[in-house]
Amino acid sequence: GVCKTEKPSLAGMTNDLASKDFEVVALASDKSWGAALVASITALAPNARVPSPDERGEYNMKEVLDAYRRALPNGVPFKVFLDPPDGDDTIGKIAASWGIKAVPESALIDRKGNIRAYFVNKRDWESPVAQTCLRSIIDEDE
């Protein structure tokens, strides 16, 4: 479906993935925001010190956000949105509205807010197949 819901960003603003000036995005859904942020930090600042997950594989979000701000004081070159689950749920409302029932999963969303590709499990966005998929959506919309 088309994403029409505003999402909170790390910068504290809300944005609509279907807005006319939005870029093609990859949406990753994981059991912990910490895992996604740690992956972003280590990809963009390889020498950064990042916290480790606990025995359940989850992160202390205060520690992760502190590491994020230290390693990337100017933020990242892409927008990061948060889809927090309620209570003990593991899936946020937006991901659930798209039928995501388990994580990790990823979706490639075009500039109109439509899901164009859907990936079950983790995706290596550096792989040639993923790069071809990303490039085809970006080129199509240019």
**3-state secondary structure string, the chain?**
CECCCEEEECCCCEEECCCCCCCCEEEEECCCHHHHHHHHHHHHCCCCCCCCCCCCCCCCHHHHHHHHHHHCCCCCCCCCECCCCCCCCCCCHHHHHCCCCCCCEEEEECCCCEEEEEEECCCCCCCHHHHHHHHHHHHHHC
pLDDT at residue number 25: 53
Residue-level pLDDT at 13: 44
What integer pLDDT is reported at residue 10 of this predicted model?
45
* pLDDT at res. 89: 78
- As a whole number of angstroms, the distance between CA 128 and CA 91 comes to 29
CA–CA separation, 5 and 3 (whole Å): 6
Look up the CATH number of domain 6-141: 3.40.30.10
Give, for all 142 residues of the chain, the pLDDT tens digit. 444 445 545 444 455 555 544 454 555 555 556 777 777 778 778 888 888 888 877 777 788 888 888 888 887 766 666 677 777 777 777 778 777 777 777 777 777 777 777 777 777 777 888 888 888 888 875 6
Task: Look up residue 3 and give its amino acid.
Answer: C
pTM passes above 0.95: no
Write down the pLDDT at residue 2. 43
Domains of the chain by residue range: 6-141
